[in-house]
Amino acid sequence: MKTRRSDRLIDMTNYLMERPHTLISLTFFADRYESAKSSISEDLAIVKRTFKNRGIGILETIPGAAGGARFIPSIDEGEAREFISDMVVEMSAKTRLLPGGYVYLSDLLGRPDVLRQVGRVIARQYIDKQIDAVMTVATKGVPIAQSVSEYLNVPFVIVRRDSKITEGATVSVNYVSGSSERIEKMELSKRSLKQGSHVLVVDDFMKGGGTVNGMKSMIEEFDSELVGITVFAEGSFAGQRMVEDYTSLLRVNQINSEDKTIQVDPGNYLEKVFDN
C-alpha cells in the first residue's frame, strides 16, 4: 500500500528504534512504503532533525540511491544529569541499608524505566567505540548488561561463579576478591564469545574491583580486548583498587549503620562523558 508521509514517519521511527546501529537501506524503505527514494530521503531528513532536537539520538544518513540510515541511540546531557540526580535520591533512602553495610539495589535493577535510562546513559559513553559484546557477571549485572546490549544492539555474555551443565565447555579463571582477599573462580562458556572481540564490561556494584578484574582476565583468555568498564554504583574502598580506569554512575560514599544513613553522590560518569 502506498502511504502518506505521516504514516511513514511513525512507522520509520518505530522501525529504526527497534533496530539500533543497523543500516536500513533506502531501497528497503522505498519498497515497504511503495514510495520514491526521494520521498524517503526527505522523510529521513525530518526524522534525523527531530531525533537530534529531542535528544533521542543520532540518525546517520548515507546519501545516494545506495544509501540508507542508521539509528544510534543517545541521551543528552540534561536528561543524563536528571537521571543520575534521581538515582542519587533513590539510593540515599535509609530503607536500602542492609546488615553489614550493604545497599539493597534489586528493586531499581528490576524497574524497566530505570534500566532503559541506564542502558541509554552507558551506551552514550561508548558511542564512538567499536563494541562486539557486553560482558557481566551473574546475577545482578545481567539487567544492566541486557539494557546496554539493547541500545548498542550487540549480544551480552554472562560470566558465572558456578558452572552449569547447560553451558557446555567453559573457560575458567581465578581471581582475587578485592574485598575479602579470597581466591575465587569464574567461568564463561567457550562458545559465547568469539576470539578478537571488543568487549565492554558492566556490573551493578564495585568495591575493590576484584570481580571486574576477573572479567579482564577472562577477556584476555578469549584473546579479546577490553574497551571499557562501567558500573552502576561504586562503593568506598579503603585499600588500593584493583582497577583504575572505570566509570561509575553513582558513588556510595558513606554508610553509617548506627544512624542508618547512606550518603550517595554522582559517580565520575558525568565528568568523563560531558566535561571533555
Sign of CA dihedral 100, 110, 147, 61: negative
Interacting residue with its own copies among 13, 27, 61, 179 (CB under 8 A) = 13
Candidate segments 103-111, 211-219, 250-258, 265-273, binder of its own copies by CB under 8 A:
103-111
Site string for its own copies, 37-76 (x = CB under 8 A): ---------xx-xxx-xx-x--------------------
End-to-end Cα, the chain, rounded Å: 48
Q: Rounded CA gap, 105 and 87, in Å?
A: 11
Q: Counting contacts by CB under 8 A, is residue 191 touching its own copies?
A: yes
Work out which of 34, 64, 94, 113 binds its own copies, going by CB under 8 A: 113
We find the least distance from the C-beta atom of residue 190 to its own copies, in angstroms, to be 11
For residue 156, the cross-strand partners are 134
The reply to whether 82 sits near its own copies by the rule CB under 8 A is: no
Four-CA torsion 230, 123, 106, 225, nearest 10 degrees:
-40
Is 160 near its own copies (CB under 8 A)?
Answer: yes
Using alpha carbons, list the distances in angstroms from residue 91 to 24, 108, 120, 258.
Answer: 40, 9, 19, 18
Half-sphere exposure of 96 (CA within 13 A, CB side): 21
Binding window for its own copies (CB under 8 A); candidates: 147-155, 206-214, 248-256, 264-272? 147-155
Residues 124-143 touching its own copies, rule: CB under 8 A, are 138-140, 142-143
- Say which amino acid occupies 114: V
Whether the Cβ atoms of residue 54 and residue 43 lie closer than 8 Å to each other: no
- Report the residue number, 64 or 100, with the smaller CB distance to its own copies: 100
35 binds its own copies (CB under 8 A): no
**Is residue 169 a contact partner of residue 163, using CB atoms and an 8 Å limit?**
no
Q: Residue numbers of the site for its own copies (CB under 8 A)?
A: 5-7, 9-11, 13-14, 17-19, 46-47, 49-51, 53-54, 56, 95, 98-100, 102-107, 110-113, 115-116, 138-140, 142-143, 146-147, 149-150, 153-158, 160, 165-168, 189, 191-192, 205
